[in-house]
Structure 1
Amino acid sequence: MAAEVGSPVPTPRRDDIDDIEVDGFIQAMTRRHGYDFSGYAPASLKRRVQALVQSLEIAHVGELTARVLRDDEMVPQVIAKLSVPVSEMFRNPAVFRKLRDEVFPVLASYPQINIWQAGCAHGQEVYSLAILLKEAGLYDRCQIFATDFSDEALARAQEGIFPIRDARLYSENYLAAGGRHTLSDYYHARYDFMKLDERLKERVTFANHNLVCDGVFCEAQLILCRNVLIYFSDTLQDRVLGLFRNSLSRGGILCLGNRESIRFAPSARDFVPLDAELRLYRNAGATL
């Protein structure tokens, strides 16, 4: 008896094919290189993967997957493109003013101050923090750990070199944040670039750390992770908040980005708002 002919299989839409290819790419990066992007917000990750394909001038995501499976030297470039190193010095100055006026006096009670800048990108916020800590007389008691999962971003952060075209904006932000001098006191201009004073790096350690899969990095009195969680799924956001809770000393301060909210995360119960509008929270949970 002849087999019954079934209904024709519908032709998959281009979007469906793209999603399948992106899933394959995520699995390849995880299993081959240990970078797990599965917890990233799907729409955001898909856009970044497609932008990466275009920048590399290859035909489709499937070709990208084949290349990362076979070419280890390509991985740093892929990681750099998938990260989102967008920042500026003293971004959202009201946050830095709040840190200066209300958080720094609390930090001053510690003989040694550990600060973790998670997702430091190109380092603008690290240097902003260092400047204000110097002006508050706290810098020499600090150890700032600036981490990112992109080695390329970390290398640029260590250089401390930024386009001079941004100097005016950075200077305005610095004054709005309560800076006591002029920003030009902290950098040297040459050609089209500004190089920040090397002394701002004396108490900074740059290191690779992946919030997606790595554990507690240090015990800190202050953690800053601004506008990173917005790229994570709800589950991954909660996992990272738990990591921050376990990294903060009791009463330590967490500073998130102004586009982020912890309201619906289970780990939010461990944080008490210090200034909910500015996304500053105090750790009230148990630590490791």
Structure 2
Amino acid sequence: MNNPTSSEIELKLLIEAIYLKYSYDFRDYAGASQKRRVLHALRQLRCESISELQAKVLHDPDTFMELLQYLTIPTTEMFRDPDYFLALREQVVPFLKTYPSLKIWIAGCSTGEELYSMAILLKEEGLLDRSIIYATDINPHSLDKAKKGIFSLERVRSYTANYQAAGGKQSFSDYYTAAYDAALFDRSLCENVSFADHSLATDSVFSETHLVCCRNVMIYFNHELQERALGLFHESLCHRGFLGLGSKESIDFSGHANAFEPLVKAQRIYRKR
């Protein structure tokens, strides 16, 4: 076995220090992605080494909050992978309509694009008023942005094609008000949304749900943390509940594989056995 390099040791010590000081647990995140993000943060935070960054993080909570933005870089868009949302609309919504009320968990909601996409879909299917949506993330700044529902108008224009490909039933512009270079989304979309700080690495299940969506999040986890997250989702879901994952994620080689059956395998939508 090769001995770890100095930078690998420094990185491990930084991640351990963050856990001990701030209770944010990145110890089971995929190493390569984590290293890239920390090295990028070094340049932005003007540190010569990971050890220097660690010292700053330990003694200055503001520096930690800055670093957190790099450790949890959101890569998202509205109606990302439109075929996924189309499959939800056509294959999952008919089942959801049989429930008198719904609870839906958007795990790792980031800055809110996935949340608003889901809210729009539910509204068009007549389900939003009887749904409670839990939108969770470990980054408080991302949650604040999600709550505000303000996005770059340039990016929102590019989401229109996604919305249409996802089976959208109205004009996408009906859901937001444009002002200057920003788009403010209809506040009614979030009337039944509960925003919460939640870590899949350390926190537990908080409610029984009918649908869990956690897309393009577990690709940043190592195997152990992926297993933990899938265990939380299985525990949270009601009998015959639904799980939606990202296009690069699968439960096929998980210890929880037998607990779910594929409903739309190409779109990574599963149903609890």
- State the alpha-carbon separation in 2 of the partners of residues 99 and 154 from structure 1: 24
The structural deviation recorded for 1:132 is: 1.1
Residues 1:138 and 2:120 are matched in the alignment: no
- Specify the alignment match of 2:162 in structure 1: 173
| TM-score, with structure 1 as normaliser | 0.92
1:277 aligns with 2:271: no
Residue 230 of structure 1 pairs with residue 219 of structure 2:
yes
1:221 lines up with 2:207 in the alignment: no
CA distance in 1, matches of 2:21, 2:103: 34
Tell me the secondary structure at the aligned position of residue 111 of structure 1.
coil
User: Which residue identity is paired with 1:173?
Assistant: N
Where do residues 198-277 of structure 1 align in structure 2 (5 Å cutoff)? 198-277=187-266
One-letter amino acid of the counterpart of residue 222, structure 2:
S
Percent of counterpart pairs with the same letter? 46
Distance 1:138 1:273, change over 3 A: same
1:70 is matched with 59
1:216-268 CA-to-partner distances (Å, cap 9, x unmatched) read 03211000000000000011101110010000001100000001121111112
Query: Per the alignment, in what secondary structure is the counterpart of residue 266 of structure 1?
Result: coil
1:251, 1:99 → 2: CA distance?
15
Letter aligned with residue 24 of structure 1? L
Task: Tell me how far apart the structure 2 counterparts of residues 186 and 275 of structure 1 sit (CA, whole Å).
Answer: 28
Q: Hey, what's the Cα distance between the residues in 2 that align with 1:116 and 1:225?
A: 8
Q: Secondary structure at the match of 1:277?
A: helix
* SS of aligned partner of 2:170: coil
Distance 1:49 1:109 in 2: 46
Query: What is the SS of the residue equivalent to 2:266?
Result: coil
**How big is the shift at 1:84?**
2.5
State the one-letter code of the partner of 2:223: D
Q: State the shift of 1:73 in Å.
A: 2.9
Deviation of 1:127 (Å): 0.5
The whole-number CA distance in structure 2 between the counterparts of 1:98 and 1:217 is: 27
Q: Which residue is 2:103 aligned to?
A: 114
Distance 1:218 1:54 in 2: 41
Name the structure 2 match of 1:80: 69
Letter in 2 for 1:242: G
Which residue of structure 2 lines up, in the alignment, with residue 190 of structure 1? Answer: 179
Which segments of 5 or more consecutive residues in structure 2 lack a partner in the other structure?
A: none
List, as ranges, runs of 4+ consecutive aligned residues in structure 1 with deviation greater than 6 Å.
Answer: none
8 Å Cα contact 1:130-1:139 kept in structure 2: yes
Select the residue among 85, 94, 114 that pairs with 2:83: 94
Q: Which moved more, 1:112-121 or 1:64-73?
A: 64-73
1:43 is matched with 32
Q: Deviations over 1:54-79 (max 9, x none)?
A: 11111111011111111123322222
Cα separation, 2, equivalents of 1:49 and 1:171: 34
Aligned residue type for 2:115: V
**What SS does the corresponding residue of 1:169 show, helix, strand or coil?**
helix
Q: Which has the higher contact order (CA 8 A, sep 6+)?
A: 2
Q: Which has the larger radius of gyration?
A: 1
Once residues 238 and 175 of structure 1 are traced to their aligned partners in structure 2, the CA distance between those partners, rounded to angstroms, is 35
TM-score by length of 2: 0.97
1:145 counterpart letter in structure 2: Y
Kept after mapping to 2: 8 A contact 1:148/1:210: yes
Q: Is the 8 A contact 1:158 1:206 kept in 2?
A: yes
- Contact 1:76 1:151 survives alignment (8 Å): no
Q: Distance in 2 between matches of 1:212 and 1:88?
A: 24
Amino acid corresponding to residue 218 of structure 1 in structure 2: S
Report the number of matched residues: 272
Aligned equivalents of 2:257, 2:115: Cα separation in 1: 25
- Conserved in 2, the CA contact under 8 Å of 1:80 and 1:151? no
Which one is further off, 148-157 or 269-278? 269-278
CA RMSD in angstroms, aligned pairs only: 1.4
Which amino acid is the alignment partner of residue 70 of structure 2?
K
Q: Provide, for residues 30-53 of structure 1, a one-character-per-residue CA deviation record: whole Å limited to 9, x for no partner.
A: 111111111011111111111111
Matched, 1:129 2:91: no
Q: What is the distance in 1 between the residues matched to 2:108 and 2:49? A: 29
